[in-house]
A and B are shown apart, each in its own frame.
Chain A
Amino acid sequence: MNQTLHILRKDIRRFRYELCVTIALTGAFAWSRAAADMPGQPQFSRAAILAGFSGFFLVLAWWFLITQLIHAESLAGDRQFWVTRPYSWRHLLAAKILFVTAFVNVPLLAAQLAILAAAGYQPLAGIPKLLWMQFGVAAFLLVPAFALGTVTRNLAQFVLTILCGLLSLYITLVVVVPSEAIVAPWPNRAVTAWVACAGATLMIIWQFSRRSTMACIGAGLITLLLAGVVYYSLPMPVQNAMRLGVVHEPEPKGVCVYIPPLSNASYSQGSVSDRLVIGLPFAYTGLPKGEIAQPEMMDVTIEGPSGQRWSSGWERNLAIPRGFYRSIQGATVSVHGSLRLSLPQQTIVPLSYGQATRIPGDGFCEVSPGVNQWEIFCRSPFRPPYDVPSGGGMDIDHGSAGIERHSWTRLLSTWDSPFPDFALSPVFTGQATSPIDAEISLVRDYPSAWITRGFAGSVRIPGVR
C-alpha cells in the first residue's frame, strides 16, 4: 500500500497541470450540460455547443492523461529504468487505477450528480444507474485506452494506433456490415461492453505482470474480433435469455402459434440478390385482450414434397436461397420450427399544450408555442425521452359538414433496455416541432413479455413472377 501511494503521489506531482485541465474540462462539461438541458434553450444554444465541445475534449483529455500515466512507467520496450528497480507490479497497477478512479471517475460522477440535481432529479436515488453509466464509460473509453497505453511506448504510437483502429472500423462499417445492422440490439451492446472490458482488463493484468507486449497485442486483436462478432451476431438464445431476465411480468400462458390451413406464403426480394424472403402467415390464439404479438425471430425448417429440406437457424427473416425456392415454388410444403414473439405494451401519453406533462421514466415533455408551430422539449434521466418523432395526417369527410383535417405528431419510444444509455451525461433531452393543429402524444412501445412457441403446418409457396 505504501508503494502504491508513493507512486500515486509521484504521478500527481508529475501530471498536476494535466489534472487541472481535465478537472476544469469536467467542470465546464457539467455546467454547460446543465445549462443546455434547461427548457427554453434553443437546440443549438451556446451552452449546448459548449457542452458538445467540452465533452469531446474531455474524452481526449482522459485518453491523453491515461496514456501519459501508463507511459510514465512504460511497459513496452526494454530501456525503462523502473524495470530493474524494486517495483511491485501489483502496486504499480493499483497506483495507476487509483489515479484514474480519483481523477477521471470521481470527477465525472460528481459532474453527473450535479447535472441530475440541476435538472431537478434526486441525485442520490440515481446512484446505481450512475454506477452503471460509469461502467459503460470505463468499458468503452477508459479501460481500452489504458490497455492500449500498456502496449505502446509513446503518445505518437498511441495516436497512430487509434487512427488505424478508427480507419479499420470505418472500412468495416462501410464495406462489411449491412447498414441496417450497424445499431445492434441492447443485449449485443451490453455483452460487447463486457467482452471489451474483460479482454482489455486481461491485457492490462498480463502486461503489468509479464511485460509480454506481442502476446498482449495478440490478445487485444482477439478481443476486438470477439467484440465485433458479439456485437453483430450474439446468439439468439443469449439475447432472449437477457431479455427474459429483465422482463419482470409473468409470461402469458395459453398463447399458441399456428399456420392456418390452406394458406399461402408471400415472398419478396431479399437484400441479397440470390435470396428471396418468405413471409409465413402466422396466427395466434390465447393472447391477452388488447395485446398483439410481434414476431421477432424464427427458426424454421421447410420440407418440400420431394423431400427437399432447408433450415434457417435463428433469423429475423426467412431468406431462402433462390435455388431451393425454385425447387418448391408452386408446391405445398411442410413448415415447422420455433417462433420468438414479443408482446408489445403500448402506452400513449397525450401532451398538453403550454405546460409540462410527465412521461414514463421520470421525465417530462413541455409543449410551447413557436412561430406557426408547437415546440416540444422533452427531458428524462438515464435514457432518451423518445427515439424518433413522426407526423402524419388524414382528411375525414363529414359529407355536407365538410372535410375535417386531422393531423398528429407522435414521439415514439421503443427503448426496451433496463440499463441507462451509454453517455457522459445522465440527463437526455429531445427537441421537436409539431404543426399548430396536430395532436401531440408520446407513444411508449415496450415489450411486456417475450415468448417462444413451436409451430407446425403447411403452406403453399407462390411461383416467382
Chain B
Amino acid sequence: MSNPIRIAGLTRKFRRTQVLQGIDLAVPRDAVFALIGPNGAGKTTTIKILMNILRPTSGCAEILGMDSRRLAGRDFTRIGYVSENQELPDWMTVDYFMRYLRPFYPAWDDELAGDLLRRFNLPGDRQLKHLSRGMRMKAALASSLPYRPEVIVLDEPFTGLDPLARDEFIEGLLERSQNTTILISSHDLADIETFASHIAYLEHGRIQFAEELSALSDRFREIEITFDAAPPLPAGWPASLPASWPASWLQPESSAALIRFTDSHYDAERTIAEIRARFPGIRDISATPMPLRAIFVTVAKSTRGVAA
C-alpha cells in the first residue's frame, strides 16, 4: 500500500452548498502531507469524511486501504486524529485520560505515553477542562501517539497556540512519529514549510495543486524584470491580459521601469528565453525563490480572480 490515504472524486453538499467538488488526492507513505487553503475551502470537511465523522455525498475516501464510510471501532487503533475543535472528556485528569484510553489500544506503549507527558510538560493531576488551549492540544496529541498509529490526521492543530507551544507540538510530533504518515491541515504556512514533505492547496472545494513541497518551491519564482526605460506594456495591462500571456505568469504588476510577476512553472532557461522574446530593452532579470506564504497568497489571489 504505497498511499495510505487516497481520495477520489469526493464531493460533499450541505443542503444547497457544495463544499467539496470532486477532490482527488493521494498521500504517500511516510509523508508529512499538508492540506492548505483559505477558510471555508473544505479542509475540515475532507478530514471529517476521511475519519467517517461525515459521510460523502459522492466519491470515496480510503485510509489504510479501508473505505472511510466503513471505518469504525478497531480500525482506529491504527489511526491518530487530533482536531482544534475536538471535545475532550473535560472532567478527566490528564493521567486518567491516558489510563482510560490505554485498554482500547493493544499496542499502547506506557513508556512512550509517560515520555510524551514529560516532553509536553503536561500536569498529570490537572483536569482537561483546566488546561489552556495549547495544553489541551498537546494532551490530545499525547493521547494519539503512544499506540504508534500508522496514520496521524491533524486538523488545524496550531490554531490558538503560541510560538513556543507550536514548536513543542511539532517537535513532539516529528520525534515520535517515524514511519508514520501525517496529514495535517493548517493555515500556519511558516510552520508547515519547516516540516511538511508534500503540500496540497484546496480552494472552492477543489484541489488546485498537490505535490512535493520541494517541487513546489522549485517551480514558483518571483520574477522581476528591470528595463532601461518604461517598457511597452500589452494592451489592457494588467486587468485584462492578451490571450498570448502565459497562464503560469501570475499577478503581474509594473512600475516605471519594472515588471514583476510570479511564475508558477519556473524553468530557468525556458522562462528567461520567453521573457526576452516578449520584452525588448531588458536590463536585468531576477528570479527569487518564494516562501510558502507568498506562494499561497499568489495562488489564492489568482484563483479568486479566475473565480470572479
Q: Which residues of A contact B (CB under 8 A)?
A: 2-3, 6, 10, 14, 72, 74, 77-81, 83-89
Q: Supply 5 A–B pairs (Cβ within 8 Å), ascending by A.
A: A74-B87, A81-B140, A83-B51, A85-B101, A85-B104
What are the 3 A-B residue pairs with the smallest beta carbon separation, nearest first? A84-B81, A86-B76, A88-B73
B104 touches A81 (CB 8 A): no
- How near does chain A come to B293, taking the closest CB pair, in angstroms? 29
Shortest Cβ distance from A15 into chain B, in angstroms?
10
Residues of B within 8 A of A74 (CB): 87
Residue pair A81, B73 in contact (C-beta under 8 Å): no
Q: Is the CB of A2 within 8 A of B103?
A: yes
Q: Name the CB-closest residue of B to A78.
A: B53
Q: Say whether B76 contacts A80, CB under 8 Å.
A: no
**Residues on the B chain within 8 Å of A3, using CB:** 103-104
Known: A72-B89, A81-B87, A84-B53. Contact between A10 and B100, CB under 8 A?
A: yes
Instruction: Enumerate chain B residues within 8 angstroms of A87, measured Cβ to Cβ.
Output: 73, 76, 104
Q: How far is the CB of B158 from chain A (nearest CB, A)?
A: 18
Give B residues with C-beta under 8 Å from A.
48, 51-54, 72-77, 79, 81, 83, 85-89, 91, 100-101, 103-105, 140
B136: shortest Cβ distance to chain A, in Å? 11
Chain B positions within 8 Å of A80 at CB level: 86-87
Asked if A6 and B85 sit within 8 Å, CB to CB, the answer is no
Contact of B51 among A2, A77, A84 (CB under 8 A): A84
Judge whether A81 and B100 touch: CB under 8 Å.
Answer: no
Of the residues A10, A14, A79, A86, contact of B77 by C-beta under 8 Å: A86
Interface centre among A3, A78, A88 (most CB of B within 10 A): A78
- Cα–Cα distance between A85 and B74 once the two chains are bound (Å): 8
Q: Give the CA-CA distance A189 to B83 in the complex, in Å.
A: 48
Interchain CA distance A14-B79 in the complex, whole Å: 27
B104 touches A83 (CB 8 A): no
Q: A14-B91, A87-B76 are in contact. List 18 more A-B contacts (CB 8 A).
A: A72-B89, A74-B87, A78-B53, A78-B54, A79-B85, A80-B87, A81-B88, A83-B51, A83-B52, A84-B76, A84-B81, A85-B76, A86-B73, A86-B75, A87-B73, A87-B104, A88-B74, A89-B73
- Closest-by-CB residue of A relative to B77 is A86
- Do the beta carbons of A83 and B53 come within 8 Å of each other? yes
A89 lies within 8 A of B91 (CB): no
Q: Are A79 and B101 neighbours in the complex by a CB distance under 8 Å?
A: no
B103 touches A81 (CB 8 A): no
CB distance from B92 to the nearest CB of A (A): 8
Given contacts A86-B77, A86-B105, contact A78 B100 (CB under 8 A): no
Find out whether the CB atom of B104 lies under 8 angstroms from the CB atom of A86: yes
Contacts of A2 in B (CB 8 A): 103
Are A89 and B76 in contact (CB-based, < 8 A)? no
Interchain CA distance A3-B105 in the complex, whole Å: 11
Complex: how many Å from CA A6 to CA B101? 10
Min Cβ gap A203→B in Å is 19
Nearest residue (CB) in B for A73 is B89
Cα A81 to Cα B76 with chains together (Å)? 12
**Minimal Cβ-Cβ distance residue in B for A84:** B81
CA distance in complex: A78, B75 (Å)? 18
Taken together as a complex, chains A and B put the C-alpha atoms of A74 and B83 apart, in Å, by: 17
Chain A residues near B72 (CB-CB < 8 A): 88-89
CB distance from B214 to the nearest CB of A (A): 31
A78 to chain B, nearest CB (A): 5
Which residues of chain A are within 8 angstroms of B54 by Cβ–Cβ distance? 78
- Give, as a whole number of angstroms, the nearest-CB distance from A152 to chain B: 15
Please pick, from A77, A81, A86, A88, the residue contacting B89 in the complex, using a CB distance under 8 A: A81
Least CB distance from A14 to B in Å reads 6
